[in-house]
């Protein structure tokens, strides 16, 4: 296997709701939004990764969390292919904050009604989140090279 071409990642994502809005972040060098969170480090459990990532990115603590879904995402960037497993959690922070502690990230709340009109990646996660907001059922799905393939 050529490791310079392929990467396998396990990530946690936080869905932080505030009234009819959801917290998203944007890398200032990219043209899309994604949900806060990041990589699970070797030997770290998902809860610890979720708490650490939100603390690193926003400087806030999570007081309540609940697993709500899983999205597999396989995609290609100019430096290679990625295969990631995203563990999705609804997270309630101790306080609301959108001020980034990482200079390359911008955080903001998007109206839930605007989610479908904005470029939010992975697309499968956006689709499942919109469904989850209505039915609150745990979900999983896959997306391969920007094509939503399956899930429930």
Q: Report how far residue 12's alpha carbon sits from residue 39's, in angstroms, rounded to the nearest whole number.
A: 6
Instruction: Pick the range with the lowest mean pLDDT from 37-41, 70-74, 89-93, 146-150.
Output: 146-150
| pLDDT on residue 133 | 97
Residue range 96-124, pLDDT digits in tens:
999 999 999 999 999 999 999 999 999 99
Specify which residues 65 forms β-bridges with: 91
Q: Report how far residue 76's alpha carbon sits from residue 59's, in angstroms, rounded to the nearest whole number.
A: 31
CATH superfamily of 6-151: Nucleoside Triphosphate Pyrophosphohydrolase (3.90.79.10)
| pLDDT on residue 8 | 84
Specify which residues 139 forms β-bridges with: 69
Q: What pTM was computed for the model? A: 0.90
Closest CA to 121 of 103, 91, 148: 148
| pLDDT on residue 1 | 44
């Amino acid at each position: 296997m050529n490791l310079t071409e392929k990467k396998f990642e396990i990530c946690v994502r936080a869905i932080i709701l505030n009234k009819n809005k959801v917290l998203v972040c944007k890398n200032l060098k990219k043209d899309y939004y994604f949900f806060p969170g990041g990589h699970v480090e070797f030997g770290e459990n998902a809860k610890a990764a979720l708490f650490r990532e939100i603390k690193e990115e926003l400087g806030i603590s999570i007081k309540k969390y609940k697993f709500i879904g899983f999205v597999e995402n396989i995609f290609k960037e100019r430096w290679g292919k990625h295969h990631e497993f995203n563990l999705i959690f609804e997270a309630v922070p101790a306080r609301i904050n959108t001020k980034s502690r990482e200079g390359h990230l911008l955080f903001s709340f998007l109206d839930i009604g605007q989610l479908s009109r904005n470029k939010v990646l992975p697309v499968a996660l956006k689709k499942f989140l919109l469904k989850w907001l209505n039915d609150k059922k745990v979900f999983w799905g896959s997306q391969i090279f920007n094509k939503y393939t399956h899930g429930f």
